[in-house]
Amino acid sequence: MDKKYSQHFSEKSLWDKLKQFGKTAGVKVVYAVLLLLYTFQDKGVSTKTKLSIAAALGYFILPTDAIIDLTPIIGYSDDLGVLLFTLSAVATSITPEIKEKARKKAHEWFGAIDPRELNDIDNQTF
């Protein structure tokens, strides 16, 4: 990821995108985004890590990525790939508290969630 994507990241833009497209993107994408966002917000995370996260979240926010996001499932597959790659790269910065906060927010938005969906993300990245 590079600077052209990180310039599209802002917390306001991210929340706007999640509010508008979160249900369409699905719980796995939203959970991955939340993990990255809460890691980005952690004061103990290095600037280098935050730049990587900003680029990945900027890519998610950008409406003109590799595959159009208007198509459910397929449209967010490239986003999920970028998010998972970044989660793997920053995994050592993701605390149990961050994971719990992301899980709680995902449950607020989606209600009952099959725990395997969130575990799939955790198992692919941690």
Percentage of the residues of the chain whose pLDDT score is greater than 90: 61
Give a three-class secondary structure readout of the chain: CCHHHHCCCCHHHHHHHHHHHHHHHCHHHHHHHHHHHHHHHCCCCCHHHHHHHHHHHHHHHCCCCCCCCCCCCHHHHHHHHHHHHHHHHHHHHCCHHHHHHHHHHHHHHHCCCCHHHHHHHHHHHC
For residue 104, what pLDDT is reported? 96
Whether residue 25 is predicted with pLDDT greater than 50 in this model: the reply is yes
Average pLDDT over residues 23-49: 95
In tens, the pLDDT along 56-110 reads 999 888 865 444 444 454 567 778 889 999 999 999 999 999 999 999 999 999 9
- Average pLDDT over the chain reads 86
